[in-house]
Amino acid sequence: MLPDFSLYQMVSIALVFVWTGFVRTGLGFGGAALGLPLMLFVQNNPLLWLPIIGVHLLFFSDLTLRNRLHNVDWQYLRYPSIYIIPPAIIGVFGLVNLPVLWLNSFIYSVELLAKLPTRNRGKLINDSR
């Protein structure tokens, strides 16, 4: 499944992963989101990069969590997990099984709905211009 990368491409990939690690360390988030477009310049196949990024995030999240596990508020985390875990499982199932056109249509429709202006008691509260 892995394509044969040249030395230049391997060095580019390594630099992107190092850079995303610094971004994640400095900001606390966003390394994968900023690294994926750069990796798509090397090989334009997101299905190649997403599992690698996922493993990368799981590994470094595990390292971070081991040091800070005692700081987690488990009582608080139990309540939102009821609402977070089922849609996440449905999303993974849809990502694996649904056609790309359906996924793209769903993503764009959710994005369009999120950008619509909303009103609360007659006042515009979400003016996304």
Distance CA 49, CA 40 (A): 8
User: How large is the average pLDDT for residues 62-79?
Assistant: 83
pLDDT, tens digit (0-9, with 9 covering 90-100), for 37-64: 888 888 888 778 888 888 888 887 787 7
State the pLDDT at residue 19.
Answer: 86
Type of residue at 50: L
Q: Is the pLDDT of residue 104 over 80?
A: no
Both tokens of 114, joined, read: 């999120």
Q: Is the pLDDT of residue 88 over 80?
A: yes
- Residues paired with 119 in a beta bridge: 124
User: How large is the average pLDDT for residues 59-78?
Assistant: 82
